Chains A and B, each alone.
Chain A
Amino acid sequence: MLAFNFFGTTEGGLFDINATLPLMAIQVVALTYILNSIFFKPIGNVVEKREKYVSNNIIEAKKKLSEVEKLEADLLSQLQSARSEAQRIVSEAENESDKLYKEALELANNEANTSKEKARLEIESQTSAARDKLSKQADDLSKLIVNRLILEK
């Protein structure tokens, strides 16, 4: 049954301390060495090797990522400059064609104007020549009429 003899007997009891204590201490120290060699060291080696491997990979990946980012920025700036170059060329060509068009238009206008002027002058001179001729003929005709009238008399 329930037998509580905490301090009572010289034999046994809860607070009976004897050679179990140092032997248990020695056992625990021995266990520490055993566990160190079969558990802590091998597992530690594996885990730390893996941690090193992972962190190395992360560092390498970061390096590669930054390289990629640099290349991307490089390409982007190249693309930008190419784009602005293309823009420049296009606008230059537009200006050029505009200028050429204006020049050609002016030239054509001038030519048209001069030929129109020339034609006008010619028409004028011919008109006046024809008028002169006509008035001369009228004179001649009137003289002839006069002469004839005078002669018939």
Chain B
Amino acid sequence: MLTNFAALEVGQHLYWQIGNIRLHGQVFLTSWILLGALLVFISLGTKKMENDPKGLQNLLEFLWDYIRDLARTQIGEKVYRDWMPFIGTLFLFIFISNWGGALIPWKLIKLPSGELGAPTADLNTTIALALLVSLSYFYAGLSNKGWRYFEYYVHPTPIMLPFKILEDFTKPLSLSFRLFGNILADELVVAVLVFLVPLVLPIPVMFLGLFTSAIQALIFATLAAYYIGEAVEEHH
């Protein structure tokens, strides 16, 4: 019984077959539940907007202000407005995925294969997010500066060219694997500890996991904003 409850499944997925393509169903199921909760939360908070904010609206405004500060400090005063929704979405999506994966007892829902968990513990999700960030900063650079964007690659000296090109590959790689690794490791550590010592001991690790989850969301959003800011920055 107990061993069943604490059993660990790594790299097992609930496959959905649609025509020729295969999907990780558990990722979508969890993300839909969490996103549904987020959207309900937000629509409740913005239902009756007042000039003198109360309750949920206050919380949402705090969140908005937090995201604006993040985007503004990294991207700069000029174009941060265009990218704030994207940065904010990344932050909110990763944050609720991480915390939702850690806080909700998904184990209680039995799946035929695999298990529900943080959508960010699946490499597909994190690579998708990282590639979106890559596309975003290319788009931001090209749309703001045109072909002059590529001056960035030879900016202080042309010697930088190979490193800057390499960076375009390492950025999405590090973004995706950092998030994936942290969240998966957190889930694994908790699962292993629960498996070994099912009482008390995993609790501090769970708190540590919550902390890491929040930090990872902030890191991802901050780095995404920083890359976009780097792409739109004017060199003189």
Cα–Cα, bound, A28→B89 (Å): 8
The answer to whether B186 has its CB under 8 Å from any CB of chain A is: no
B164 interface residue (CB < 8 Å to A): no
A106 to B13, CA, bound (A): 127
Closest to B180 in A: A14
Task: Verify if A24 is at the interface (C-beta below 8 Å from B).
Answer: yes
Q: Is the CB of B39 within 8 A of A38?
A: yes
Known: A32-B85, A38-B46, A43-B46. Is A18-B24 also a contact (CB below 8 A)? yes
A 16-54 to B, binary, CB cutoff 8 A, 1 in contact else 0: 111111111101110110111011101110110110010
Is B93 part of the binding interface, using a Cβ–Cβ cutoff of 8 Å?
yes
- Tell me the nearest residue of chain A to B42, going by C-beta: A39
* Residues in A whose Cβ lies below 8 Å from that of B192: 2
Query: Are the C-beta atoms of B42 and A28 separated by less than 8 Å?
Result: no
Complex interface: stretch among B101-109, B123-131, B143-151, B153-161: B123-131
A44: chain B residues within 8 A (beta carbon): 64, 68, 84
Q: Which residues of B contact A149 (CB under 8 A)?
A: none
Give the dominant DSSP class at B's interface: helix
Tell me if B31 counts as interface (CB < 8 A to partner A). Answer: yes
A-B contacts counted at CB < 8 A amount to 132
Distance of A65 Cα from B66 Cα, bound (Å): 33
Which chain B residues lie closer than 8 Å to A150 at the CB level?
Answer: none
- Rounded to whole angstroms, the CA-CA distance of A13 and B124 in the bound complex is 12
**Assembled-state Cα–Cα distance A17/B31 (Å):** 17
**Known pairs A12-B13, A17-B127, A27-B31; A34 contacts B195 (CB<8 A):** no
Task: Give the most central of A16, A34, A49: most B CB within 10 Å.
Answer: A16
Secondary structure call for the A interface: helix
Q: How far does the alpha carbon of A87 sit from the alpha carbon of B105 in the complex, in Å?
A: 89
Q: Is B37 an interface residue (CB 8 A)?
A: no
| Inter-subunit contact A6/B21 (CB<8 Å) | no
User: Assuming A19-B21, A29-B132, is B92 touching A35 (CB within 8 A)?
Assistant: yes
Residues of B within 8 A of A19 (CB): 21-23
Could you list 13 A-B pairs, sorted by A, with CB under 8 Å?
A1-B3, A1-B7, A12-B114, A14-B184, A18-B21, A24-B129, A25-B129, A25-B131, A27-B28, A42-B46, A43-B49, A43-B64, A50-B51
Ordered nearest first, which 7 A-B pairs have the shortest CB separation? A20-B124, A36-B85, A19-B21, A25-B128, A24-B128, A32-B89, A21-B124
The chain B residues found within 8 Å of chain A, CB to CB, are: 3, 7-13, 15, 21-24, 27-28, 31, 35, 39, 42-43, 46, 49, 51, 53, 57, 60-61, 64-65, 67-68, 84-86, 88-90, 92-93, 114, 119, 122-125, 127-129, 131-132, 184, 192, 195
